[in-house]
Amino acid sequence: MEYGMGGTTEIVDEPIAEPESFIIDYPKSLAVCLVSGGMDSCVTAAIAHEENEELAFLHVSYGQRTEARERQAFNELADHFGVTNRLAVSIEHLRQIGGSSLTDPNIAITEANLASREIPISYVPFRNSHLLSIATSWAEVIGAQRIYIGAVAEDSSGYPDCRPEFYEAFQRAIDTGTKPETRIEIVTPVIDLRKSEIVKRGVELGAPFELTWSCYQAEAEACGRCDSCALRRRAFREAGVPDPIPYA
């Protein structure tokens, strides 16, 4: 589903009167893409690149352990896709709030247990709502019609803010809380895919997995033991594709 662009003038055979308010001539197809630097956001960016005329890349640091390495991956991915319109912001108050092994140095990063059905300690409470709020504010200002986010519900850590119903609810919040003429759609192109399917889709699109970073605790060589590393390694193994990043 695609929405039209709020605040633009449709070209027809007969000219029509424009509203008195100032109208900015936005690109016909502009999307904000949240890019963490991981494999899911990389493939999401590749899909967004195929589906839109222009992209704006957004990276949000939240006080996580691998903040610098993820920022590096973001910039390298933006360079790869030729995206010059990029925004990197910090919401380090999530480190002060704590409650997650990703942001609280007093909580250890645990080794992966992919058989567990419990929400892992790496869950950052309600993090994705913060990311989407920032993306929505920026999208409304620059006239973007879509927000792409690489959330994965299947074959993942089971974070509650990665479920489809969360994004459906947030879509209603966007529709209610933005200007009447604003039309912004949340797009979650990999949410129902297994991790191995995301790898295969990325290979089809030529996604640069070598530029991505997934490890929760290391920045030189991926630890290979945390939840994120374990999910990534299993995905590449099941897809029959070599993982191009270094592991300890």
pLDDT at 22 over 90: no
Q: Residue 27 has what pLDDT?
A: 53
pLDDT at 8 over 90: no
236-245 burial code (b ≥16 CB/10 A, e <16): beebeeebeb
How far apart are the C-alpha atoms of 71 and 116, rounded to whole Å?
30
Q: Residue 176 has what pLDDT?
A: 98
Do 101 and 119 form a contact (C-beta atoms < 8 A)?
A: no
Q: Residue 28 has what pLDDT?
A: 64
Q: Residue 84 has what pLDDT?
A: 97
Average pLDDT over residues 164-181: 97
Q: Residue 11 has what pLDDT?
A: 40
Average pLDDT over residues 1-26: 43
Q: Residue 23 has what pLDDT?
A: 42
Who contacts 123 (Cβ-Cβ below 8 Å, separation ≥6)? 100, 157, 159, 160
pLDDT tens by residue, 186-237: 999 999 999 999 999 999 999 999 999 999 999 999 999 999 999 999 999 9
pLDDT at 155 over 80: no
- Binned at pLDDT 50, 70 and 90, residue 163 comes out as very high
Angle 66-72-73 (CA atoms, 0-180°, nearest 5)? 90
Average pLDDT over residues 56-64: 98
- Binned at pLDDT 50, 70 and 90, residue 9 comes out as very low
Q: Residue 58 has what pLDDT?
A: 98
CA 40 to chain centre: 8
Q: pTM of the prediction?
A: 0.88
What kind of architecture, by CATH, is found in domain 30-239? 3-Layer(aba) Sandwich (3.40)
pLDDT tens by residue, 98-145: 999 999 999 999 999 988 889 999 999 999 999 999 999 999 999 999
Comparing C-alpha atoms, which of 39, 32, 82 is closest to residue 58?
Answer: 32
pLDDT at 2 over 50: no
Average pLDDT over residues 7-12: 41
Comparing C-alpha atoms, which of 116, 145, 157, 201 is closest to residue 33?
Answer: 145
The owner of tokens 């993982």 is 243
pLDDT at 61 over 90: yes
